[in-house]
Chain A
Amino acid sequence: MHELPTATIRIRVNGADHEVSAEPDTPLLFVLRNELSLNGPKFGCGLGQCGSCTVHVDGAPRRSCVTAVSAVAGKDVVTLEGLGTPERPHPLQQAFIDEQAAQCGYCINGMIMRAAALLAKAPRPSRDDILSAMDANLCRCGTHMRIVRAIERAAAGGTASPTGREG
């Protein structure tokens, strides 16, 4: 094996400080997954096109696959695990459970992280607000209707949206 990376970078993730050894341009996604064993953020494209790797950096949604780890030094990173756990889910996670808003679930990290950032800024978004906020995230199973309903449910304080479930 050849020489290992030398840089030590301090990052704050889900409220805890970590020192990680990585080259500064290493994608934040790989550090979160491989160094910190945080599996919430997912590798989808490595191109910033699909959103499955989304995390919050200082409260804003960021594509961790195209964010260098050095760029978040000194900033607050929150991952899906930082929102809640199966035992104590975040209201948005609970809404996704209530609406059964997942099929394979691979994109759901990005959906919840982007929606959480939206609701933090606009607690009662219109349907158009939701569609436009979520437009940059891709889902292949076709769970879109349920994802929108889950976001509406969370925005309504955990109750089903007024339009209710189709069918």
Chain B
Amino acid sequence: MDRSSSSLRSRREFLADAGILVVGFSLFPRASHAESLGRAPRAVAAPSAEALDSWLVIGRDERVTVYAGKVELGTGVSTALRQIVAEELDVPLERITWVQGDSQLTVDQGRTVGSGSVKRGGAQLRRAAAEARQVLLEMAAARLSVPASQLEIADGVVSVAGNASNRLTFGALIGGGRFERTISGRAPVKVPAAYKVVGRPVPRAEIPGKVTGKHVYVHDLRLPGMLHGRVVRPPRLGATLESIDEQSAAKLPGVIRVARKGTFVGVVAAREEQAVRAAKTLHARWTATPVLPAAGDLYSTFKSLATSERVVGEAGDAAAALRSAARPVRATYRWPFQLHASIGPSCAVADVRADNATVYSATQGAHQLVAPIAALLGMSSEKVRVVFTEGSGCYGHNGADDVAADAALLSQAVGRPVRVQWSREDEHAWEPEGPAMLFEMAGAVDADGKITAWTYDAWTPTHGARPTRDPATLVAGALAAGKAAGGEFFSGGGERNARTTYALPNERVTSHPVPSFPIRTSSLRGLGSPQNSFANESFVDELATAAGIDPIELRRHHLSDPRALAVIDAAAKRAGWAPRTSSPTRSGVSSAGIRKGRGFAYVQYDRTEAYVAAVVDVDVRLDTGSVRVRRVCVAHDCGLIVNPDGLRNQIEGNVIQAISRTLKEAVRFDSTRVTGVDWNGYPILRFSEIPEAIDIELIDRPDQPSVGAGEAATSPIPAAIANAIFDATGVRVRQVPFTADRVRAALRA
């Protein structure tokens, strides 16, 4: 029996390659598994989603190797996906080897974005595992001459019911062979009531390595003959390179090359410290015309740059309802540019040869990065392989793709493998930023506590500028070509949660895209959802105040979805919410000069995904204006829970990061460049500022599909904080971040 084919062989070849290429550790610790496949290497073939063999391979050693397009970005998703496969295939978790995000080895499951890995990626893996289980049953039935209906599967062993000694292991059935099956989607999947692995708080597989220094991040890759590169950036994209004295760096010890292509400039040296010194020393003179507005003019500039509008949602006649309202309420909210701000600046390793290239990157889309890198290198896409290797926390479209392009260009320049590590300044100044947003809201409430009118208008640059086939969508490509980076405007990003899920009789929700703004923006965790929810959920609170009605009660009047009501009830009950008809309640104990307040917010992420309600308790110091979040209570429903502890970890992380974004974070820039280029210039939340408790209630819905949890819990937090500050002080803060200076100014206004 020879079931071998190119894709199996290619994997063995790859696993063998990994052992040779990567020195000092094994990229895939169970590379020995490849031996059990017992096949000779051959050319690599692209795996297709329809072929079962693309998804998993079972070795003679009983190991199951899963080839996943979705990747681990630090959220624990690779553990959750492993649970889904182990459950459906009936193999122990420990027996699964995980290969992820390789443009030539794994199925293209789309980018790892938008909290879609468990929902969509997990569903694909579940179907594949169920199909494999079905094939194994059929094979065992034939081998044992017993109808499949009389067979049982447990722990990777098929046995005859009532005769456990009559059995075959998965490895004995197929070890090293191929399933040769197209995924029909008709293989039976388990009912959630039968789950033994899904739903359990399984510890994450990579954490022991992460706490002992053994886990391999892209920053830790070392290839034989590898050199160290650094980039030398202009003040901003579009700047002109007036002069460059390449000799100023080339003469330094260890420097191999000062590379230049258009306005892309980088240095390559034998040792990392030599590359750092060369980049610092290189004399380059740039001119950048002042194009950025003064901070005070940012939002009016947005309005002047918007050339079109899009009605996101509409019901009734909001304008007429507003006109006839006795006391319409209006408010303007502002959100700044923010950073992903990973603790590890972006890093990549590229090995570009004359006729092929391999790029190791923490990209969210290995498959999607192939085309622009190939175009940048002047190669055909078949010659370029992108291998995902985990990086520092991702939180969206950060610098991972761009640094991969930097490494590719520098490796091509020297014909050897090059590792490029961005500096902290490179990261802060050059990662794509989360967009600023401006909101103008108007609405009214009637005497019965019903919202009668609601209008929303928002102005924002794009929330999505992912690499396309055009290499100029990568910074190196844009610099090399002398073009502005960026692709088409992605209106769906800024409009995420623009429209609320409240049933409103008269509403008009309008977005105003700012098509080009001289700061490069893209997707930051939640895209427009945290910003939109800040405006919407603050404004609901303002309407409740205007009507003298409890803010939770007002929301209830416009919600009928029982899952929405359940998270709201759970959060309110858990926090001990006392209904109120006016704010500030100042009900908490107030010590001298400190006011305590409590705020509420509710969001269903992206209107169809996870339900989250949050109650936030704050202290506001009246003398300084400083705000401290004391306690956060979250109720969360994301359908069937795969890993409750992983989910809690994600919720805690969302809450802390959202507090940080709300209280502290704004990108600083002058007329030509980003100026907040270190942790002093862009401060984030510190240990002394974390809440005393984040109290989480998980609502498990085994009868509902799992939806993502990577972003949802961020969305209600900013408004809940704003509403708590209002409850504490009677002062409404409508511009993020709520720094002490800004709150103090509001208190004194």
Q: Which residues of A contact B (CB under 8 A)?
A: 1-5, 22-23, 26-27, 30, 33-34, 37-47, 49-50, 52, 79-81, 83-86, 89, 93, 96-97, 100-109, 112, 130-132, 134-135, 137-148, 166-167
> Taking chain B's interface residues, is the majority helix, strand, or loop, or is none over half, making it mixed?
loop
Task: Say yes or no: B424 contacts A47, CB within 8 Å.
Answer: yes
Residues of B near A40 (CB, < 8 A) are 212-213
Task: Say yes or no: B344 contacts A38, CB within 8 Å.
Answer: no
> Taking chain A's interface residues, is the majority helix, strand, or loop, or is none over half, making it mixed?
loop
The answer to the question of B312 belonging to the interface, with a C-beta cut-off of 8 Å to chain A, is: no
Residues of B near A104 (CB, < 8 A) are 73-74, 342-344, 390-394
Known contacts A27-B273, A43-B219; A85 and B342 CB within 8 A of each other = no
Task: Say yes or no: A145 contacts B344, CB within 8 Å.
Answer: no
Q: Which of B215, B423, B645, B680 contacts A105 (CB 8 A)?
A: B215
Task: Say yes or no: A44 contacts B344, CB within 8 Å.
Answer: yes
Residues of A near B691 (CB, < 8 A) are 145
Task: Say yes or no: B695 contacts A167, CB within 8 Å.
Answer: yes
Known contacts A2-B254, A145-B694; A49 and B678 CB within 8 A of each other = yes
Interface string of B329-349 (1 = CB under 8 A from A): 000000000000111110000
Residues of B near A37 (CB, < 8 A) are 24, 222
Interface string of B670-689 (1 = CB under 8 A from A): 00000000111000111110
Cα(A85)–Cα(B211), bound, Å: 9
CB distance from A50 to the nearest CB of B (A): 6
Pairs A–B under 8 Å by Cβ, sample size 11: A23-B273, A30-B272, A46-B276, A85-B214, A86-B214, A89-B211, A93-B211, A104-B344, A138-B343, A144-B687, A147-B687
The answer to the question of B588 belonging to the interface, with a C-beta cut-off of 8 Å to chain A, is: no
Q: Which of A30, A97, A142 contacts B653 (CB 8 A)?
A: A142
Who on chain B is nearest to A80 by CB?
B213
Q: Which residues of B contact A (CB under 8 A)?
A: 24, 73-76, 203-204, 206-217, 219-220, 222, 251-256, 270-273, 276, 341-345, 390-395, 421, 423-424, 645-646, 648-650, 652-657, 660, 678-680, 684-688, 690-691, 693-698
Task: Say yes or no: B696 contacts A167, CB within 8 Å.
Answer: yes
Q: Which of B208, B679, B690 contacts A45 (CB 8 A)?
A: B679
Who on chain A is nearest to B390 by CB?
A104
Task: Say yes or no: A86 contacts B212, CB within 8 Å.
Answer: yes
Cα(A26)–Cα(B649), bound, Å: 38
Task: Say yes or no: A81 contacts B684, CB within 8 Å.
Answer: no
Who on chain A is nearest to B276 by CB?
A46
Who on chain A is nearest to B213 by CB?
A40
Cα(A3)–Cα(B255), bound, Å: 9
Who on chain A is nearest to B697 by CB?
A167
Cα(A108)–Cα(B215), bound, Å: 11
Residues of A near B270 (CB, < 8 A) are 1, 4
Known contacts A1-B254, A47-B678, A93-B211; A145 and B690 CB within 8 A of each other = yes
CB distance from B80 to the nearest CB of A (A): 13
Question: A-B pairs with the 8 shortest C-beta distances?
Answer: A40-B213, A104-B74, A142-B656, A105-B210, A142-B653, A104-B393, A167-B696, A106-B392
Cα(A34)–Cα(B694), bound, Å: 40
